[in-house]
Structure 1
């Protein structure tokens, strides 16, 4: 199993452009963040006040052996405690809401982006890669930002307030205590690069593991039939081992960083105790001042420790941010111009009332196409299709049949030339214009979890029960549906697993036809079903395609005998063109292909 990594390597340092990009997603929470940071500033200031209150108590009550004025002091002290408790409650509440809402909003934006990206994007990205972006990476990002900014605001405020208080209490002692700060900066710079690289490795391997889970679950039947359980386990074990090694490396780096910060903090405290103790003995400072300084050194290096934790988390969050924004900032390969969007709407906000009705005339005009970094699949391809005409495409694998259909559906766009629908270049219309008028039935139909009725209605959410039954009858699905105990309310299972391939195919036909599309595509829709079911589906095809401009990619040539025209495609070019009788009469490529397939099917029937 090969899981392709789909990340672009970046330099192992903080990418400020990544976080700059992120701030535009923070705009909806601007007021909450301002309130949150304000609350944390209050908390930082309040925390820095308590050592001064302790100093005041020692110097004025303990050393002087008096309680004069203690009532006022107690009132101020408990007032500060209550204010601190209320402030902490408020910031916890707001930060929690921001975290949840931010994750929801970014996940929604990500899902919206997935809806508008073309098929070519999904050709390049593994499902596991996308799942990791939408789940763990977004969670990590929202959690780090909401709580990280809180702790950062508190830490900076606390350190600033403590520094000011220490300098005011005793300038020389403050400088001695803070002499370890430059070393802290050097240590942070050293560990930044290594922690970020380790966290990136962890996130990358996590994507691979998610993709491996997805592939193994989806391919469970193949695994069983090929007896690959042991091999899959070995391959997955290699991935998890890599994850373990990378995670341990990241943990070790963080584990080394934090003790170094604590050690330097302890050294600073030792300097304060040593010099401050001597100063007390010499009468240069009061005992209360020394106690306040010891408290301040602990308070100063506590936010430093917290900032070290935030720093490590930001490294990990940046790795997640890079991946999330690579999805959110993905520029679709197919886009509608501003003029088109203004006039006709976009994918998520269509203005259907402005769309012209599709009659079904189609023209490929000097069309060339090549996939990314690949050879040309089509070159100077020309084709005209009349409204209501059924065109069958025949040819070897890789001849260009699917490319023609994908261009027709505007899943891809021509590299050169134009595709015209009713004489209109479809680039001058919104993508939805075609898709709303398109019925598409795949070789392997996909049903969604839910009932048969819900799956058919998925093609047209405004379809009534009568519309659903009418569509089912048209495609010969009504009879088998009604034979089921719950009829149209029968659950189909995940991916339609509770139904046969033929039943799924008929339901997908009904789902396509309930849209009443003017354009239709059948992509080898009968290649994976038995002969008896094929006859049922063939009858459905004849009914469905009547009056609709349609393309049929056929594996079984017996299913396209009634097509208006059959195009034999080779190397992106039409080498034969005509109906079934004409092509048989010409005794060319199609004749040989049809004859060989007919003999093969008859032989199977006789041996059957």
Structure 2
């Protein structure tokens, strides 16, 4: 799944990409500017220290005098104090930039995840997304903040050293710095190698995160199928691939840095060779030679840092490309500009301008195909009056869920149109429809927190009395008050501290609290026991009263009172009618209902 969705990116540092990224750094431009000034000071003072040491040798050691030493010591001490203050500033400001940018980008990414269509999640694992929202963003913000520190410091220090070296002795400066051209050639060669290696590492990291998520969430299935050994083998192979790719990336980077060290050593040897001869011939002072030797060592320290930044920047670009492929993902279902201007969007709704919903729904010649070309519906037509209950029956893959997903605008028709109260729902905002929608899934999802919190997700402005009323309406109040902490009972992760039936009733209460005009039940009774099913059947009867509703039915006993039952096969409606009308036809629905009724009777006798 991960490899299918992983995009391929440019094979070198893309400056235009980083230029576009500056939009996200704009809120921190003041801090970036201050940090740059601080690092200019740090780099310049670091470059001045060897010059001070050389002067001390020539003025005090070689002359054998202490005249002026006190003044020199005060100047040196002031530089040390300023450098200490600079260090405090750089750590403080760089840390603020790192945490602030990570927060902002993560917030933008999470906001994008809220508005992306369901189709985006169809072929992307949770771990695939988590890797982008966590480790990739951390890598990106860390490289940008601390990379700027090292970059400005290194460039400032190198420029200062070059200026001082040329001011002291042009010939010796040219000889010492002659190793820079081969250094530039080597850097260009290693750029592509390092970037490609780190991209592969980040790609495998996403797959590992996804595997972690699947193994943890599927722990019960693993136990029941005794798949521990196979899971371990698969995960070992994946982590082994990560290890090999990481080692390869590190080896490439580790080859680069020793070459820098070698060139630095050559520069030092050149300075000692030619500078030493000049000292012996009295054309160069001993202090100046010491300055040059120190500078040849010190000059390549920022070069090594810049090389490391270069490698980190390549790794960060791999992370950045992955993060912003998510943030810049095109919305498959998007409201038009005119609709957004009039009614708002998910993050900025203009509820005061929204029209009310009566609940009349019409599918007009609706066809739908997935991206892979698989056609699910063809010329589907249906008219639903306000307050009617429509049941959808059929085998798995017949198109029942597709009809409901199209109604909810989780997907949009590839042909035809869907009207709500006589208006194409594309002329209304998605959030308008979703605000008027109550949806109960076959496997209800509860969030970590209390029962009260989970019910209140349906309407954050609801009072405690509203929550109790909704719970009573769906027959959930009695079991809730019997729990140790009542409505303040913790449900656990995913609601795992409650039974399936209890979770289902809470999800009903959550949906009812919204007071939706349109209700959807997606096989809401297929995973519960018979006793709980009877409670939920009573709940359904009360909840759906006066609301337009769609029921995807697995247990046909739940849809006896539906106004219209659609029997669907391979995307086509093969039978339509009420429960009694379809039984009288003695067709597909009759056989389906009869077989299910017999099985249920056998089960009751056995019990």
Does structure 1 residue 327 correspond to structure 2 residue 326? yes
- Structure 2 CA distance, aligned partners of 1:491 and 1:54? 68
Q: Deviations over 1:376-416 (max 9, x none)?
A: 21222221111001000011211111111001001111112
Worse-superposed segment, 51-60 or 198-207:
51-60
Instruction: Give the match's secondary structure for 1:300.
Output: helix
Alignment of 1:234-273 (within 5 A): 234-273=233-272
- Deviations for 1:565-594, whole angstroms, at most 9, x for unmatched residues? 001112222221111111111122211211
Aligned equivalents of 1:16, 1:125: Cα separation in 2:
29
State the distance in 2 between where 1:49 and 1:170 align.
Answer: 16
- Give distance in 1, aligned partners of 2:597 and 2:580: 15
Hey, what does 1:415 align to over in structure 2? 414
Matched, 1:38 2:37: yes
Contact 1:144 1:313 (8 Å CA) reproduced: yes
Shift in Å, 1:119 = 0.8
Q: Does 1:105 align with 2:104?
A: yes
Q: Is the 8 A contact 1:367 1:414 kept in 2?
A: yes
Partner of 1:317: 316
The corresponding residue for 1:569 is 568
> Which residue in 1 is equivalent to 2:604?
605
- 8 Å contact 1:3–1:212 — kept in the other structure? no
Say which is worse superposed, 333-342 or 107-116, in terms of deviation: 333-342
Report deviation, 1:600: 2.0
Asked if the contact 1:362/1:387 (under 8 Å) is kept, the reply is yes
Q: Which SS does the other structure have where 2:419 is aligned?
A: strand
Asked whether the equivalents of residues 364 and 382 of structure 1 are also in contact (C-alpha less than 8 Å), the reply is yes
Structure 1 residue 154 displacement after superposition:
1.0
> Which whole-Å CA distance do the structure 2 matches of 1:48 and 1:3 have between them?
48
Match of 2:130 in 1: 131
SS at match of 2:5: coil
Instruction: Work out the CA distance in 2 between the residues paired with 1:318 and 1:423.
Output: 49
Distance (Å, rounded) in 2 between the aligned partners of 1:48 and 1:479: 77
Offset at 1:59? 2.1
- Matches of 2:20 and 2:109, distance apart in 1: 15
> SS at the partner of 1:377?
strand
Partner Cα distance (1:483, 1:87) in 2 = 63
Deviates more, 1:182-191 or 1:284-293: 182-191
Equivalents in 2 of 1:363, 1:17: separation in Å?
Answer: 48
Paired with 2:230 and 2:76, the residues of 1 have a C-alpha distance of: 67
Instruction: Say whether the 8 Å CA contact 2:2–2:128 is kept in structure 1.
Output: no
CA distance, structure 2, for counterparts of residue 446 and residue 153 of structure 1? 50
* Structure 2 residue 70 is the aligned partner of structure 1 residue 71: yes
List per-residue Cα deviations over 1:303-349 (Å, max 9, x = no partner).
Answer: 00111111111121111111111111111111112221121111011
SS of 1:379's partner is strand
Tell me, what secondary structure is at the counterpart of 1:265?
helix
CA offsets, 1:149-168, max 9 Å, x none?
A: 11111111111111111111
SS in 2 for 1:383: strand
Higher mean Cα deviation, 373-382 or 430-439?
Answer: 373-382
Aligned-partner Cα distance in 2 for 1:498–1:164: 70
Distance, in Å, in 2 between the alignment partners of 1:417 and 1:161 is: 70
SS at match of 1:365: strand
For residues 3 and 328 of structure 1, what CA distance do their matches in structure 2 show? 17
Write the distance in 2 (CA, Å) between the matches of 1:150 and 1:334.
42
Structure 2 distance, partners of 1:532, 1:405, is 27
Q: Distance in 2 between matches of 1:474 and 1:35?
A: 60
Q: Please identify, of 189-198 and 533-542, the stretch whose mean Cα deviation from structure 2 is larger.
A: 189-198
1:395 matched residue in structure 2:
394
Q: Is the contact made by 1:447 and 1:496 (CA closer than 8 Å) also made in structure 2? A: yes
SS at match of 1:443: coil
CA distance in structure 2 between the partners assigned to 1:12 and 1:3 by the alignment: 20
Partner SS, residue 139 of structure 2: helix
CA distance in 1, matches of 2:575, 2:275: 98
Q: Residues of 1 paired with 2:604 and 2:219: CA distance?
A: 32
Matches of 1:50 and 1:463, distance apart in 2: 67
- What secondary structure, in the 3-state scheme, does the structure 2 residue paired with 1:191 have? helix
CA distance in 2, matches of 1:27, 1:3: 32
CA contact (8 A) 1:393 1:551 kept: yes
Q: How does 1:53-68 map to 2 (within 5 A)?
A: 53-68=52-67
Conserved 8 A contact 1:18-1:321: no
Displacement of 1:531: 1.2
* Superposition misfits of 4+ residues, deviation over 4 angstroms: 2-5
* 2:379 matched residue in structure 1: 380
SS in 2 for 1:526: coil
Aligned residue for 1:159? 158
User: Aligned partners of 2:337, 2:87: CA distance in 1, in Å?
Assistant: 48
Q: CA deviation at 1:52?
A: 2.1
Q: What whole-Å deviation, never above 9, does each CA across 1:201-248 have from its counterpart, x for those lacking one?
A: 211111111111100111111111101011101111111111111111
| Contact 2:512–2:543, Cα closer than 8 Å, also in 1 | yes
More off after superposition, 8-17 vs 552-561: 8-17
Partner of 2:94: 95
- Does structure 2 retain, via aligned residues, the 8 Å contact 1:5–1:204? no
- The farther-off stretch of 7-16 and 259-268 is 7-16
Partner of 2:13: 14
Q: Quick one: distance in 1 between partners of 2:197 and 2:212? A: 23
Q: Is the 8 A contact 2:172 2:274 kept in 1?
A: yes
Name the CA distance, whole Å, in 2 between partners of 1:605 and 1:229: 37
What secondary structure sits across from 1:325 in the alignment? helix
> What is the SS of the residue equivalent to 1:567?
strand
Q: Give the conservation status (yes or no) of the 8 Å contact 2:9–2:321.
A: no
Provide the residue aligned with 2:455 in structure 1. Answer: 456
Rounded Cα–Cα distance in structure 2 between residues aligned with 1:530 and 1:3: 37
Deviations 1:70-126, CA, capped at 9 Å, x for gaps? 333223222222222212211111001111111111111111111111111111211
Q: Offset at 1:18?
A: 2.9
TM-score (norm 2): 0.98
1:80 aligned residue: 79
3-state DSSP of counterpart to 2:438:
strand
Matching of residues 23-34 of structure 1 within 5 Å: 23-34=22-33
CA distance in 2: counterparts of 1:23 and 1:95, whole angstroms: 16
Q: Secondary structure at the match of 1:251?
A: helix
Q: Which residue in the other structure is 1:140 paired with?
A: 139
| Equivalent residue runs for 1:142-291 within 5 Å | 142-291=141-290
Please tell me whether the aligned partners of residues 265 and 301 of structure 1 are also in contact (alpha carbons under 8 angstroms). yes
Higher deviation after alignment, 382-391 or 361-370:
361-370
2:40–2:156: 8 Å Cα contact kept in structure 1? yes
- Deviation of 1:49 after TM superposition, in Å, equals 1.6
| Contact 1:119–1:411 (CA under 8 A) maintained in structure 2 | yes
Q: Is the 8 A contact 1:36 1:91 kept in 2?
A: yes
- Segments of 5+ residues of structure 1 without an aligned counterpart are none
Q: Tell me the distance in 2 between the aligned counterparts of 1:575 and 1:395.
A: 10
* Structure 1 position 4, deviation (Å): 5.0
Which residue is 1:434 aligned to? Answer: 433
